[in-house]
Amino acid sequence: MLAALKAEESSGQLQLVERDDVDEDEDLFEAIDKLIAQGINAGDVKKLQDAGIYTCNGLMMHTKKNLTGIKGLSEAKVDKICEAAEKIVNFGYITGSDMLLKRKSVVRITTGSQALDELLGGGIETLSITEAFGEFRSGKTQLAHTLCVSTQLPTSMRGGNGKVAYIDTEGTFRPDRIVPIAERFGLDPGAVLDNIIYARAYTYEHQYNLLLGLAAKMSEEPFRLLIVDSVIALFRVDFSGRGELAERQQRLAQMLSRLIKIAEEFNVAVYMTNQVIADPGGGMFVTDPKKPAGGHVLAHAATVRLMFRKGKGEQRICKVFDAPNLPEAEAISFTRFFPFYNHTFVSQNNSSS
């Protein structure tokens, strides 16, 4: 991905620069146009782009059943396209050493909180989904707003050197909250807001279509973060009762599958918030027990799960609920005001979550 920020000493602020003005790094994905050099008709490549497929990597993440559903692509054409894509990208086995090298491309984006960064091993990771769940006013959306800014910091400042896509399902995004956070990090608020693309989703279908439309933008511009706030809200509205539960979970699984494919295709971090529901089986010793909504489908899709809850006064507590490489731990954050301020690391256990 391209570095998209540089320091402007004259103004004392960091300013975003145009993509054309930045030296290109090694591409993390192969453009779908490269299929033409492998003998694929340009018209068929255009059909793939119209269906939201802009990279060979993304093409290999689709089943042949889905590809033959694209108007104008027969089974024979799909087979030829897939064979050509396999010559460009390797989707087979690699060694553990190669995987270790691939993991070096992971970018950890600061949360603005030293305690939270320590909790997460450096920040929110690209190539993965980070889920934050908790009751209302527990700090989930506040962290989303902070990440909108910190993602645009250069890597030397533990940022992501990239733009942000924000899908809002609850109507809680407030651009005026971005301004003081940007000023706190020494960024130009106008430039920061210009590098956030925002969409308000009203149905689960609308939400999914917005994800499909991101491929075109991410293949052309240096994005580093995708925020979905929240991932479950519209599913709880559009599906009701146990009679529609199976279909809801299937649609949710498709949505989550699309999110992880975006993360891996474009090396972006996905930060999604989630709601909580009452947990009758939470135990008699737990006050007001709650659990994240979405069931096992959502639990298995998220790479890192963070539980947010209210503390004393303005304190907000974040706990690593589940992660493949992080110990179970907690951190206190003060999140009532726009930027994160002072933070204290609370406790850490040796057990892995």
Q: For 269-278, how does the pLDDT look when each residue is reduced to its tens digit (9 = 90+)?
A: 999 999 988 8
The encoded tokens of residue 20 equal: 């054309």
* 105-127 confidence digits (pLDDT tens): 999 999 988 888 989 999 999 99
Q: How far apart are CA 304 and CA 285, in angstroms?
A: 26
Residue 277 phi/psi, 5-degree rounding, is: -130, 160
Among the ranges given (12-16, 80-84, 166-170, 193-197), the one the predictor scored with the smallest mean pLDDT: 12-16
Whole-number pLDDT of residue 286: 56
pTM summary value: 0.84
pLDDT tens digit string along 213-245?
A: 898 899 889 999 999 999 999 999 999 889 999
In one letter, which amino acid is 148? C
Average pLDDT, the chain: 84
Joined tokens for residue 22: 């930045």
E-state strands within the chain: 5-8, 13-16, 108-109, 124-125, 128-133, 163-168, 196-200, 223-229, 269-274, 276-278, 290-292, 304-310, 315-322, 327-334, 343-352
Residue type, 225: L
291 class by beta-carbon count within 10 Å (0-12 exposed, 13-18 middle, 19+ buried): middle
- State the average pLDDT over residues 171-181: 94
List, in order, residues 6 or more apart from 335 with CB less than 8 Å away. Answer: 139, 142, 143, 314, 316
List pLDDT tens digits, range 183-197.
Answer: 999 999 999 999 999
Using only the alpha carbons of the chain, give its radius of gyration: 21
Q: Is 102 helix (H, G, I), strand (E, B) or coil?
A: helix
Stated as kind and residue range, the H or E segment containing 346 is strand 343-352
Q: Is the dihedral of CA 215, 235, 194, 142 positive or negative?
A: negative
pLDDT beyond 90 at 253: yes
Is the pLDDT reported for residue 325 higher than 70?
yes
Report d(CA 342, CA 114) in Å as an integer. Answer: 8
State the average pLDDT over residues 1-14: 40
Q: H/E element holding 316?
A: strand 315-322
The helix/strand count (H/E) of the chain reads as 13, 15
73-109 pLDDT, tens digit each:
999 999 999 999 999 998 889 899 999 998 889 999 9
Find the mean pLDDT for residues 256-279: 92
145 or 312, greater pLDDT: 145
* Inter-residue contact 164 to 194 (CB < 8 Å): no
Average pLDDT over residues 15-37: 63
Residue (of 216, 303, 302) closest to 266 by Cα position: 216
ω into residue 230 within 30 of 0, thus cis? yes
